[in-house]
Amino acid sequence: MAKPMTPENRVKKARELIAKARKIPPPSSVGWEYFSYTAQVKDTLKQAFELVKLINHSPSAPEEIKADARAVIDEIATAEKEILKPSKPA
């Protein structure tokens, strides 16, 4: 049986997944390739969210880890906006 991950490892792994989502190369065209790109980014960010979503509800997790988990959840939302909705040049 697999050993469960500690909350610290979950936060670390979630941050690695956010970095992985940022490294996915965007397509050159806005067709079906863009739908695939969007799905890959959202799936990677969802994996990161799934790792940390329950840490805040764990009574055994230290408060600093809970704060890190909340920060990661905020980072996920920010990363999704930055990756999928880039600002238009002026």
pLDDT per residue as tens digits for the range 74-83? 999 999 999 9
User: Does 47 score more than 60 pLDDT?
Assistant: yes
Cβ distance 22 to 83 under 8 Å? yes
Q: Does a structural domain hold residue 74? A: yes
Cβ distance 7 to 65 under 8 Å? yes
Q: Does a structural domain hold residue 90? A: no
Q: Residue 42 is part of which domain span?
A: 7-84
**Rounded to an integer, what distance in angstroms lies between the CA atom of residue 43 and that of residue 69?**
19
Spell out the residues 6+ positions from residue 15 whose beta carbon is closer than 8 angstroms to its own.
48, 72, 75
Residue type, 69: A
Q: Does a structural domain hold residue 61? A: yes
Q: Does a structural domain hold residue 2? A: no
pLDDT grade for 5, boundaries at 50, 70 and 90: confident
Domain count across the chain: 1
